[in-house]
Structure 1
């Protein structure tokens, strides 16, 4: 992706966060960016409006339902945050999820009916697709938009081919418990996976050398290159991370469905990218944070849930959802 420079938002300003100390508090991460408080205010207002409009919205069961519904988007969006901060984009995450789920289910069906085998196959497939995206983008210098548009089609087609468009049934009870139906202290496993991935993403992006290099690669590639940052390696690892998390999301979805289907979550990449941008990440690279991405995902999930509870038609839901996302991004960018 190409950068658009302007006096109001110069590259060096976007990359300045790289030079800040790593031991920053969580509150500073919550408050970084351009007017991020508008995002929190918008979320609070949304909660109040839906609570007043629907007697079923303000309940623990409904909030747990929102958490389960947003799991897939939230997990993949953590990886997408790294990709977009490094000034790239990945359109193939939904197809990667579909192919990874098929790999996991086929491995358990024909190799060994063991959840570890399925998990390794699913995560490995996601990581491999991410590696392909990263290598083609950095080594052949093809824009990531075009590369991942190609893998979007290729991975989806391969997922449809391997079983002739038929689903593959999963029977391993441990697989269901670990990734889909289990719980700890009443908290469903998918939500626990989301929390775990979010915490790991925060530590990796905001408190590690690799995270600082991601900001440098996206904020000011020229300065980063002269500072000794291996931009190609950093970018490739960001794609691998995103692919791996898409693989994890496939395990959660297939465990919840007791089967893997090749035609699932078509178009989900748009919700993933919207969550990252809504959470304060810049499409031009160099700016973003994981907690903002999680909040962006929760805003989209809460909006979907609230509109369903209010009985809004599906067509009107799309109109309202699009308008609110555009308005929220406009306010947070002012």
Structure 2
């Protein structure tokens, strides 16, 4: 009897220990973020860790952060969107042209959002109805939209002279807080609410985790996938508006390479490429982490080629650490 009681006590203690065990892989991006922040502060002092520089980093990463929030849903559904960079460019140009013609901010914004939603809808329809892998569909769409952005203005930049638009979508500040940071927070709050509080978010992760099981539970996986592509397109078009407002000009070069930065931020943030797991907070932290690394390398005086090499190596290292942590968690 005493032995049985001891076994029960050991079992209870084991369960309690498991409950209190912290899975560091869940917080890897935050740990890395803190380490990099402290390291760069010690290395560069006030040149790096100052209010102005930190706010500048948030402005530089705002567009990536906003797209990363939407991309969390795409990757969480086990898909990928490579067309967001070119959507950024074409959206900025469409918005600038509408502003030139009508001087209406509302019409310009609606035109930009309509463009992004249309691109996302086309991507989603080809993936779900035609059955083409999202990698190939969005890669082809990247080329089509990029060409359209170049052809629309014959590669010329389109100036934006509407001061109100530039204030709202780029240059403005409310007190010391940049408007771009406010837009990032808005996107983060909306994304967090949709992912964690609405049934849609659970359906997205269920679709990415096991599409067949999701179908058996009554989830319309095609509709879910189309929806996440539309979200991604709208976020990319909005990022294009912010790019244009920040520099008061629209260019076909906006967004070049952003698709890779966004995907890297999302993966660094803890969203699984295998689908079914995602966190918008982690994605935004991943975006800020990349911004901090870029900023620190610039302050350190590295050339552009050196920055690219170091940045790529750091991303591989951090993703490897996150992946190893996730694997250990899965074994447990």
**Structure 1 length normalisation: TM-score?**
0.88
Distance 1:38 1:252 in 2: 30
2:146 paired residue number: 156
1:124-181 Cα distance to aligned partner (Å, 9 max, x none): 1111111111111111111000000010000000011111111111111110111111
Secondary structure at the aligned position of 1:36 is classed as helix
Seen in structure 2, the aligned counterparts of structure 1 residues 249 and 321 have a Cα distance that, compared at 3 Å, is same
8 A Cα contact 2:77 2:204, kept in partner = yes
**How far off its partner does 1:321 sit?**
0.9
Provide the residue aligned with 1:71 in structure 2.
62
1:130 has 2:120 as partner? yes
Higher Cα Rg, which structure: 2
2:172 aligned with 1:174? no
- The answer to whether the aligner puts 1:109 opposite 2:100 as a matched pair is yes
**Number of the residue aligned with 1:235:** 225
Aligned length: 303
Deviations along 1:274-311, one digit per CA (max 9) or x if unpaired, are: 00011111111101110110111011000000110111
Deviation for aligned residue 1:318: 1.3
Aligned partner (choices 176, 185, 201) of residue 195 of structure 1: 185
Classify the secondary structure of the residue corresponding to 2:25.
Answer: coil
Shift of 1:32: 9.8
Equivalent residue runs for 1:257-296 within 5 Å: 257-296=247-286
Once the two structures are superposed, residues 27-53 of structure 1 have per-residue CA deviations (whole angstroms, 9 ceiling, x without a partner) of xxxx99871223222111111111111
Aligned to 1:323: 313
Contact 1:34–1:332 under 8 Å retained in 2: no
Q: Which range moves more in the overlay, 39-48 or 64-73?
A: 39-48
Aligned-partner SS, 1:245: helix
**Alignment partners' CA distance in 1, 2:241 and 2:98:** 12
Q: 1:114 touches 1:172 (CA, 8 Å); kept in 2?
A: no
Match of 2:88 among 90, 97, 106: 97
- Off by >4 Å, runs of 4+ in structure 1: 31-34
Q: Contact between 1:87 and 1:218, CA under 8 Å: does it hold in 2? A: yes
- Determine the structure 2 residue equivalent to 1:304: 294
- Aligned counterparts of 1:114 and 1:171: Cα–Cα separation in 2: 12
Partner of 2:73: 82
Hey, what's the Cα distance between the residues in 2 that align with 1:299 and 1:198? 16
SS, match of residue 311 in structure 1: coil
Change (3 A) 1:32 1:194: farther
